[in-house]
Structure 1
C-alpha cells in the first residue's frame, strides 16, 4: 500500500492549516452527491435555498462527481496557517496560463463548455471563477463559518496535544480509517498513488482538517511548488449540524449534576462557552460557571485561538464520559 516516508526534518516541518477555498470546493461536491454525505444534509437544505439565483456554473463544471482529479489551481495547499478567502483567491487568479492549461489537460474529454473557455483564455476564466467562488462562499459557507472554524481549531488543538504527549504516532493515530503510521512511514489507502513518496528533506506535510471532505480523505502531492498535504475530516464533524444537546450518561449526571455532565457530553469536539450555551439551552453565565468548576477539577483544559477560548476534555474526562455511557 502506498505511503509517505518521513525524515526527522520532515516531521519538524509538518504543520496544520485550514482553507476556506477548499471548503467551498468540497461543498460543491457535497451538493452534487448529498446522499453519500448524509451528515451534511441539514447544510445541504440550507445551502440550496441560499444559492438560488447564485451563478457558479464554471466552478460546478470544474468539480465533477465522481472527482478523480481536481486541477491544482482550484485549491492549492495554503502557505499560511489560516489564509483569508481573499488571499486564496489572489493565489488562484495569479496562476500562470501555462499551468492552467497543463492541469486542464488531465481532465476527461470532451471538456465542458465553460472549462474549454477557461483553457482558451485562462486570465479571464480565472477572474470569473474567483467571482463564482466568492459568491458561493458568501451565500452558502460564510454564514456557518464560525461553527466550522471552531471545529477545525478544536481538531488542531487536539492533534497538537496528542503530538506533544505521544509523538508522531499519536499525532496520526485515529486521524482517518484510511491513514496509519508505522515507524517512519505514513500509509494512506489511495488508488491514485502506487509507490511510496519520499518527502524532499525538510519539506514536511500539511495536515488540512476539512468538514466537507467527510467521509473521505485525500493525499495531494501533484504541485511541486507546494508542500504535499493530507486533507481529512476533523473529530466531531458528525455533530456539526446538530441543533439539540447531547444526552449525558445517567451515571455521569448522577455524579456531576445534569448541567455539568451535559457539557462534558457536548465536548466530543472542543467548543466555546457561547457555542455550548446555544447547544445546551443553558445560560452563558451558567455554562461559564460549570466550565470553571470542571476545569478546576481537572476535567477540562482551555485553549485560546484568536479571541475565542475553546474547552476540551482531558483524558480523565474522556474516560468518565466513555465509562458513564
Structure 2
C-alpha cells in the first residue's frame, strides 16, 4: 500500500488528504489502517458469518462446475464479460486493451459480494487476479425463507422440502438454519436424512461442511 501511495504521489494523482505520504508516510499508513479497521468493525464484522458462508458456497459450486464442464463451462457461467477460447481468457474491461501472459504465474479467481461484473487489475508486478460476482449474493442481506410446493412437502415433510428447495447452491448447516429460521440441530437432523436418501451431497470446505443437491434432488425439486 505504501509503495502505491508513493507511486501515486510522484505521478501527481494523489488526493489532497493523502499527500502527507511525502512527509510522514508511516503516520499516514497507520491512519489508513485505523480507518479500515473501524469500517470493518462497523460494517462487515456483524455480517461476516453469512458473508463467508456465501463465498464458500460459491467456491464449492465453481469447483464442481469446473470438474463437470471444464474451463469452457466454468468461465461461461461466471460472467458474461468472460470468454474462454483456445487456452486464452478474455475479460471485457471497458477502456482497457492489454494482454497479460500468466503462464507459470497462475490466475487467482476471487468471488466478491460487492461487484456486479468481473473485474481485474493490469499490474505486471503483482500476482494476476480476477474478481467476479459471487453466486447467490442477492440472498445475503435477507432472511431468505423460501416457499415450498405442496406436493414436495407432502412427500418429504415441510422442513425437508424447504431445505431441499433452498439448496440450489451449496450451504452450511448454520447458513441453512439462519435462512429458514430453524435450529441448527433440527437442520442437521433433516440434512442427514436427505443425504442418506441420496438427495444431497456434502463436501468439506475449510472448517465447514457444505451441502448441495444431487442430480436426483434436482429432479425431485423440478
Class of the TM-score when normalised by the shorter of the 2 chains: 0.7 to 0.9
Question: Do 1:221 and 1:227's aligned partners in 2 also have CA atoms closer than 8 Å?
Answer: no
Q: Give 5+ residue unaligned stretches, structure 1.
A: 1-72, 74-94
Could you tell me which residue of structure 1 aligns to residue 7 of structure 2? 102
Tell me how many residue pairs correspond in the alignment: 222
Q: Which residue in 2 is equivalent to 1:131?
A: 34
Alignment of 1:5-154 (within 5 A): 73=1, 95-96=2-3, 99-104=4-9, 111-154=14-57
Q: Any unmatched runs of 5+ in structure 2?
A: none
Distance 1:106 1:320 in 2: 60
Alignment of 1:216-227 (within 5 A): 216-222=117-123, 224-227=124-127
Q: 1:242 Cα deviation (Å)?
A: 1.2
RMSD in angstroms over aligned alpha carbons?
A: 2.3
TM-score, L = length of structure 2: 0.87
Instruction: Please show how residues 1-325 of structure 1 align to structure 2 within 5 Å.
Output: 73=1, 95-96=2-3, 99-104=4-9, 111-195=14-98, 197-213=99-115, 215-222=116-123, 224-321=124-221, 323=222
Give distance in 1, aligned partners of 2:40 and 2:214. 35
Contact kept, 8 Å, 1:236 with 1:268, in 2: the verdict is: no
Q: Distance in 1 between matches of 2:204 and 2:210?
A: 6
Structure 1 CA distance for aligned equivalents of residues 185 and 102 of structure 2:
51
| Length-normalised TM-score, structure 1 | 0.62
Q: Is the 8 A contact 2:143 2:179 kept in 1?
A: yes
CA distance in 2 between counterparts of 1:313 and 1:266 reads 9
User: How far apart, CA to CA, are the structure 2 residues paired with 1:272 and 1:106?
Assistant: 47
